[in-house]
Amino acid sequence: MGGADPAANTITKLSKVGKLLANWKVPGDSSKGHASDAAIGPDGVVYVADTDGNKIQRWKLDDHGPHTTAKAVSVVKGKTATFTFSVDEDLDAQVSVSIQIKKGSVVKKTIPLGMIKPGAALSAKWKCSLPKGTYKYYVLAVDSAGNNQSPTGSAKLTVK
């Protein structure tokens, strides 16, 4: 379910019970027309009818985040750890990625990696300053639409 708001030139996506799920600004120049109606196809393609431009725009909504995976890593304290992970994203050429290391529920370190091209065999190096022990690291990713990773890739980090 959803609809168009010509005044704001936006499209809304609603649940079957009317809960707002998402709200998108219609891409393009609003001086050439405003969204008057919209339909979302089963493949996620949005068709937007234009009041003034007498046309139908077709575009793909990005309503899901990147998918991340991670592989276990072991490192000696003071040495360089190599994190091996993947980020899969259908619609973006680059995503913002960081690695977060936790001991239990406590965040011990966040390593920002910046904008990265999604791929199946990615890696990042980091000089380990954590005390000896077992940790869990998470691969966090955000796409250009602001969607967070789902699911979150995680793996064991052992510091010797």
pLDDT tens by residue, 125-157: 999 999 999 999 999 999 877 889 989 999 999
What is the pLDDT at residue 7?
59
Paired tokens of 102: 């936790």
Is the CB of residue 48 less than 8 Å from the CB of residue 35?
A: yes
Q: How confident is the model at residue 86 (pLDDT cuts 50, 70, 90)?
A: very high
Q: Which of 3-12, 45-54, 127-136 has the largest mean confidence?
A: 127-136
Distances (CA, A) of 60 to 13, 23, 64, 77, 92: 13, 14, 11, 46, 12
* 44 pLDDT more than 80: no
Confidence of residue 2 (pLDDT cuts 50, 70, 90): low
Collect contacts of 15-22 with beta carbons under 8 A, ≥24 apart: 21/63, 22/61, 22/63
List every span in the chain annotated with CATH 2.70.50.30. Answer: 67-159
CATH of 67-159, one of 3.40.50.11270, 3.60.15.10, 2.70.50.30, 3.20.20.70: 2.70.50.30
| 106 burial level (CB within 10 Å; 0-12, 13-18, 19+) | exposed
Average pLDDT, the chain: 83
Kindly report the pTM of this predicted structure. Answer: 0.68
